[in-house]
Structure 1
Amino acid sequence: MKKKNPYISNPLIGLYSVWTGFWFIGWFLALYPFMVILLQRKDTKRYAHKLVRLWSSLFFAFGFVRFEIQTDKKLDSKQAYVFCSNHFSYLDIPAFVKILPNYFSFVGKSSIKKVPLFGYLYSGLNILVDRNDRGSRTATLSKSIRALQSNRSIIIFPEGGITSKNFPFMSSPFKDGAFAMAIQQQVPVLPVSFLNNFQMLDDDFFALRPGKVKVIIHAPIETKGMTQEDMPMLREKVFETIQKPILDYHGVDMPQ
């Protein structure tokens, strides 16, 4: 069945989406020159990251999007983590930027680099990977490990992108990269569950509905003492930690 265009079927959603899109692009263009300047030096990249967080905060504020955040344990802003979450919507990315106090890099697909203006900013602040290229995957792992060594957190969507065909179920199994780097560097893995972003943003039409982003930041899972042999166990534990509250929120049972 052909998906209905929300701009036509619900003009109010269309107007709201145009409003939020205006502020998303407007604040980006206003802050972009300053972000580019700060990207030119390694010692000022952190401030470019802060401006990206400001951009995200302004976008959500002017779009009247609220957040309901459950935090199982207070985050240490000076601790490096490997953050892992479900990825059902493009809204997950600006939501992550807003809610985390840590200095971090996303691991994202290399094709983003081709997006005018934004691609330059994204590639300057984050780590890009071509998942179809083994050499690129190896290089990405090395760059991520160096980031963790410098006390910079990593955000990775272990499904490998927006790949699920059956929301709210995640794609499984998770990719190994996040867990390999966490165990190698003995840093905690921190699972995050975005409960309803895919209901708020229609990714096919970039139509945003007003509402409240609901997210659970789980307690970190320590990897100290783990070896690569523990990776399947860690991967499964993180999967279940993220998936269960999503299914609970939507009233769906975990598959047996």
Structure 2
Amino acid sequence: MELGWLLWGAAVLLLLHFLMELSPAVNFVLRVGFYYFLFVVCSAMTAPVCILVNGGRTVKNMKIIKTVVKTFKYFFGLRFETKGLENFKVEGPAIIVSNHQSMLDMMGLMEVLPDDCVQVGKKELLYAGTVGLIMYLGGVIFINRKSTNSAKMVMAEVAKTMAADNVKVWVYPEGTRNCTGDLLPFKKGAFHLAIQAQVPVIPVVYSSFISFYNPKKSLFTSGKIKVEVLPPIETKGLTPDDVSDLTDRCYNTMRETLFKLSDLPCPSEAKDSS
């Protein structure tokens, strides 16, 4: 009986391998499924450790979570090339902003996440089973994106938390995933927060994933991701009137860096050269 199950198991694995080689769509679905499976299982296993070691919800748990998630890249053949990590070494709190491309961003986040840094995420993630639990334990701040008043109240509390707990806050200013190889317009919440708290903004840029991950083409293979942490942008002395300029400055700098890291010409530059 046991030998029969082993033979059936081997046959299924061989069939899956054959289908993955034969069909990009099957390969994509299986790799994405395995990615979610890893997160669900590892979250369930890591949550008790976080509770036992640190007693519950705290940003200190991110060190444990980071250690676990950083191993995921080996399952998918992803390599990270980082630059500028020294720019995280600012005294006191800061707002970190980065581009947001896909579900793979969680691996990229954990690859460079500095100590004492919490993330801002959509409230729906809180209800994502064991993944929501581990995010809660890691101190993630959940925002209801459908309610402007609620989001503003949460961000006001974030400003107080930054000052009281001396933590950095990681925000995705595009507001949603964007796997186009370019940046979406930035929402201004993070920049309002930075000026309100008078803390620096640290831009982080990840190269485009589209050469190895593209849901529209059912593409998910191995690849290299370049990450650059840009120099902090000071906000001391700035007022709410400067929010738009600060937003535009970060957007233009990050967009230029995105195309540089992705070895692609910036559309505006390509247009000028024609």
Among 131, 144, 149, the alignment partner of 2:158 is 144
Within 2, Cα distance between the matches of 1:119 and 1:205?
A: 29
Change (3 A) 1:17 1:88: closer
Equivalent residue, structure 1, for 2:172? 157
Superposed CA offset, 1:92-146 (max 9, x none) = 2231122122321111111111211111222342111111112321222123212
Distance in 1 of aligned mates of 2:188 and 2:21 = 39
Give the superposed CA RMSD.
3.0
Answer whether contact 1:200 1:211 (CA < 8 A) is retained: yes
1:217 Cα deviation from its structure 2 partner = 0.9
Residue deviations 1:5-33, cap 9 Å, x none?
Answer: 98862366666666666654443333232
Aligned pair partner of 2:253 in 238, 241, 246: 241
Establish whether residue 112 from structure 1 lines up as the match of residue 149 from structure 2. Answer: no
CA apart distance, 1:250: 2.2
> Which of 53, 69, 88 is matched with 2:66 structurally?
53
Length-normalised TM-score, structure 1: 0.82
SS of residue in 2 equivalent to 1:155: strand
The 3-state SS of whatever aligns with 2:66 is: helix
Per the alignment, residue 33 of structure 1 pairs with 48
Residue 196 of structure 1 corresponds to 208
Task: Specify the alignment match of 1:121 in structure 2.
Answer: 134
Shift of 1:78: 5.6
Whether the 8 Å CA contact 2:85–2:112 is kept in 1: the answer is: no
**In 1, distance between residues paired with 2:21 and 2:90?**
40
Matches of 1:60 and 1:93, distance apart in 2:
11
The alpha carbon displacement at 1:224 in A equals 1.1
If the length of structure 2 is used for normalisation, what is the TM-score? 0.77
Q: Could you tell me how far 1:218 is from its partner in structure 2?
A: 0.6
Is the 1:82–1:189 Cα contact (8 Å) retained in structure 2?
Answer: yes
Q: Which runs of 5+ in 2 are unaligned?
A: 1-18
Counterpart of 2:176, as a letter, is: G
**Structure 1 stretches lacking a partner, 5+ long:** none
CA contact (8 A) 1:65 1:211 kept: yes
Change beyond 3 A, Cα 1:211–1:159? same
How far is the alpha carbon of 1:74 from its aligned partner?
A: 3.5
**In the TM superposition, what whole-angstrom CA distance separates every residue of 1:26-82 from its partner, at most 9, and x where no partner exists?**
43333232124456446xx24311111111112124444221112175421764221
Q: 1:34 to 1:168 in 2, by over 3 A?
A: same
What are the residue-to-residue correspondences of 1:1-256 with 2, within 5 Å?
9-10=23-24, 23-38=38-53, 40-41=55-56, 45-71=58-84, 73-76=86-89, 79-124=92-137, 125-149=139-163, 150-162=165-177, 164=178, 167-172=180-185, 174-202=186-214, 208-248=220-260, 249-254=263-268
Contact 1:88 1:198 in 2 (8 A): no
SS of the residue aligned with 1:117? Answer: helix
In the alignment, the residues of structure 1 paired with residue 205 and residue 20 of structure 2 have an alpha-carbon distance, to the nearest angstrom, of: 26
Query: Equivalents in 2 of 1:153, 1:113: separation in Å?
Result: 21
Q: CA deviation at 1:207?
A: 6.5
Residue type of the partner of 1:89?
S
Q: Secondary structure at the match of 1:216?
A: strand
- Kindly indicate whether the alpha-carbon contact (under 8 Å) linking 1:17 and 1:206 is maintained by their aligned counterparts in 2: no
In our comparison, the structure showing a higher alpha carbon Rg is 2
> Secondary structure of 2:129's partner?
coil
**Paired residues, number:** 247
